[in-house]
Amino acid sequence: MINGTYRFSFTSKNPPNFKKIRNIVLWSLLGIFVLVGVLTSFYTVDDKQQAVVTTFGKVTDITEPGLHFKVPFGIQQAHKVDINVYQKIELGYVTNADGSTTTVDDESSMITGDYNIVNVDFFVEYKISDPVQYLFSSNDPALILKNLIQSQVRNVVGSSTVDAVLTDGKENIQLQVKELVSDILTEYDVGLTLIDVRIQDAEPPTIAVVEAFKAVETAKQNAEAVLNDAKAYQNAKLPEAEAQADKLLQNAEYLKQKRINEATEAVAMFNAMYEEYKQNPGITRSRMYYETISQILPDVKVFINTGDSNSMNMLLPLESIVGGN
């Protein structure tokens, strides 16, 4: 105790080895550095992805699915992009987590070419076709595509009639929108490819108009049903009519051939008779005369003159000689 104050003094036999501590720290940092370098030198690309590799921010490679090496510590970076995945855009509605949908009036309400208001919902599918353009040509390619589709949808619907939008013109509208958007995407080249554009729903804004268009659609369906029934009746009756016509043709062909055969037979008979006539003209004339008389006058009585031309001697009746009555 000195002047009322206690002083304590400690003496260390082994003072700290700062050099050793420094080496330990340095080796630890080096180990951490190497470990971080090893862990950040490899990356894996899934089977539906491609990776765009940049070196100091410049694109130097595009890698396919698998395990790959890159220079660590941010010198090289791998930006993975879902290439072989169909992605969707919903226009006019939003699908909730529970599967229900919520209408987005600002996107679905449109004016047709004949100044009617309709609510049209579109479902769009697209995929990334160029990962480099997708990553670096614009800030948000998906938003650009959505705005582009919405613009072209309003353009096409605005040039269509309300009947076409609500009934039988949907397929044509979808095709026009897809062609227009695809052409613009090719021109702008934001790395996206449009796969499909479909109208999910199209309806007028009031219940009365909805019912009217439902009645129109029902009438069209009934007309199609009647047309199908008529075609079915035609298909059922046409073979029967064709069979009957074929039967008539065959019968006519048979009668034709029969007449030809009869005419040929008559010609042959006439030629034969003519040959006989040339050999014995007198006898043939007499025979033909008697045959004709017997056909014209079947009940005539025949008398045979047995004398000269001035004699009246005749043999009567001839039937008793030939055994007739």
pLDDT tens readout for residues 37-62? 666 788 889 999 999 999 998 999 99
What's the confidence (pLDDT) of residue 13?
A: 54
pLDDT at 319: 53
Top-confidence residue, 14 or 228: 228
Partners of residue 81 on adjacent β-strands = 50
pLDDT at 88 over 90: yes
pLDDT, one tens digit per residue, over 92-148 is 999 998 888 888 888 888 888 888 888 999 999 999 999 999 999 888 999 999 999
List, for residues 249-299, the tens digit of each pLDDT value: 999 998 999 999 999 988 888 888 778 778 877 777 777 777 787 777 777
Q: How much of the chain, in percent, has pLDDT values that exceed 90?
A: 29
| Confidence grade of residue 1 (pLDDT, cut at 50, 70, 90) | very low
Rounded distance between C-alpha atoms, residue 324 and residue 179, angstroms: 106
pLDDT in tens, 13-46: 566 666 777 767 777 777 777 666 666 788 889 9
pLDDT over threshold 90, residue 181: yes
Percentage of residues in the chain with pLDDT exceeding 70?
81
pTM for this model (two decimals): 0.54
Higher pLDDT, 275 or 200: 200
DSSP E strand boundaries for the chain: 42-45, 49-55, 58-63, 66-69, 76-82, 87-91, 93-95, 101-103, 109-111, 117-128, 192-203, 304-305, 314-315
pLDDT at 10 over 50: no
The pLDDT, as a whole number, for residue 173 is 93
Best-predicted range by mean pLDDT (237-246, 274-283, 304-313): 237-246
Taking phi over 0 as left and psi of -120 to 50 as alpha, with beta for the rest, 126 belongs to beta
200 vs 124: CA distance, rounded Å: 10
Q: Is the pLDDT of residue 8 over 50?
A: no
Decide which of 224 and 216 is more confident. 224
Burial bucket for residue 235 (CB in 10 Å: 0-12, 13-18, 19+): exposed
User: What value does the CA radius of gyration of the chain take, rounded to a whole number of Å?
Assistant: 55
